[in-house]
Structures are given as structure tokens and as C-alpha cells.
Amino acid sequence: MNHYLVTGGAGFIGSHVCETLLKAGHSVCAYDSFDPYYPRELKERNLADCRVHPNFMLVEGDIRDRELLATTLRAQPIAAVIHLAARAGVRPSLEQPELYAQVNIDATVGLFELCRAVGVKQVVFASSSSVYGDRDGGPFRESDNTDRPLSPYGSTKKAGEVIAHVYSHLYGFSIACLRFFTVYGPRQRPDLAIRKFVHRALNDETIPVFGDGTSRRDYTHVNDIVNGITGALNWVNGAAGRYGIFNLGSHSPVELNRLLAGIEAGVGHPLKIDRQPHQPGDVFQTFADTSLAEIDLGFRHEVNFDDGLRDFIAWMRANDLS
């Protein structure tokens, strides 16, 4: 049995990671600030099953609180850190770029420094497809240029990858940087498009749609993302001094109009749509080449989008508190 620290452990992806690790027989410490970015009740519900597990503990604290984070890291030997805590979202980052830099860059450096001090050198870092910026053509590869993200959020995730490389090069950390592509599924944050659309559709409310609906996203089910994270844990624990960047996606972009049609079919009535101009910071498409993750992490895209969307709509009917 290994012990893992999951920062952002009460969130959408983090809570699924905690559950998966507990089911695999490990012990888990979730570290989360319960930031009011969205209602605390949603995160409390995310952790309902974890809280009753004897090998689970929760530390409530800000990722910028270095004293509390140091105490948490020293509490017991940690096999690896899964660093998911971040200020998320492209559009909000346009309004609060300094806050995004503090949480996503400064706090990541602080975490790595504390890990170095206590001898924890295995880290899985959550990056984002936002680092690719806006580009045309075929699938995005890890070797592609990522020097021109279109949002403060994307730039902070790019910075996190660069910082991770420094700690791998200088101090022998083994770090896997995972570029998540548009994650959806149960417990999705209420600010994300699919959840907002489904919530409004179920309540017969108007759905604001930016652009003409031809933009495409590589929607990836949270179960597939978690499988990629567990593969990355095996990878970072496999050898010292490793550094890698891996796309986690479906390799199958879905047009926005197709998403809307799927939601309409799922809720059983026509959608009320308000077409609005394209938003600054939004990219036209995301499209993951996942071959590297398949080879090194054993990653496999398993959840078909249509099935995943149908299941998500059913989950929303039963659980929506937005």
C-alpha cells in the first residue's frame, strides 16, 4: 500500500482520483481549499464516499499556505504527489491574471520546494490543452510549439511544465505533466460548458452559444483521465529523474453543434439557443494525439462520447445542484 497526496482532491477530477486510489488499496490525503469559486456543497458531495474510507484523510487548506502544506507532506511517507490544485478556467483568468499566477505558478514552485525538502520526488502535474493556443490542422503533439497560449490560464499551465522540467533536471524529480483535453463527466464543475448547457436544457432555459457552433473540442471522460493519471503514477515511480509531457484526450474532436444535438436528444425537447460572438481567449479546436501516453503510460480512450454524454445527462438529472 502506497500513500498519495492529491492537491485539489475535493474537486471534479481530484475526487475521482482519490476514489480510484482508495479502491486500489492505497491510502490518500486530499488537500483542498474549498475555494468559493463554486459552492462548497458540491465538493462535499464529491468526497462523500471517500470520507467513510479508513485510509482517507482530508486537509482543508490553501495551496499557497506553505506551513500547512509542509506539515501535510511530513505527516507520513508519500509515494507521489498528484498536483491538481489550480485556479481553473480560461475566461475567468482574463479578469484575474495575477491570482492565476499566484496559485498556478508561485504555489507550484512552493510545492516543489517543499517536496524537495522532505524528499518526495515523484509528481504528477495537471497541465492543460490550453498551452497549445489556437492552431489549425491535425492532432496536437507534445512536441508542437506551445509558446503562444491565448489566455493567462494557458500561460500559467505552460509555466508549470517549465518549472517541473527545472526540478527534474536539477534535483532528480520524476514528473509527468499531463495535458488534459476538455474533461467531462460526473461531478464536472458548474462553470464548464457541458454542465452549464445540460443544466439550462433540463430547466428549459436559454443556452448562450459563442460562435457559429463549428468549433471543436476533444471531449475526454473523467474515467479516461483518471486512468491516465494512474498510469502516470506508475511511470514516475518507475525510475528517478524522469520528465515527460503527455496528452490525455479522446483523439476525436466533437463539433459544438453535435454536442448541442446530443444534449437535445438526451433531454427530449428542443433547446433554446442564443448565438453570441466568439469570446476572446477561446480556441477554435482541440485535438489530442495520445500515442505517447498510450506507449509510456498505457493510456487508452475507452468512453465513447455519445455514451458518456448520455450517462452525464442522467447523472445531472439525479444530482444537479447548479
Alpha-carbon distance 35 to 107, whole Å?
15
Alpha-carbon distance 160 to 109, whole Å?
8
Between helix 222-236 and helix 12-23 the angle, nearest 10°, is 60
Answer whether 208's CB lies under 8 Å from 274's CB.
Answer: yes
How many other CB atoms sit within 10 Å of the CB of residue 50? 21
The residues that are catalytic are 153
Alpha-carbon distance 68 to 318, whole Å?
36
Residue 90 identity (one-letter amino acid) = V
Answer whether 192's CB lies under 8 Å from 184's CB.
Answer: yes
User: What stretches of 174-239 show up as alpha helix (H) in DSSP?
Assistant: 193-202, 222-236
Alpha-carbon distance 192 to 13, whole Å?
13
Helix (H) or strand (E) holding 178: strand 174-180
Alpha-carbon distance 152 to 210, whole Å?
20
Alpha-carbon distance 91 to 280, whole Å?
8
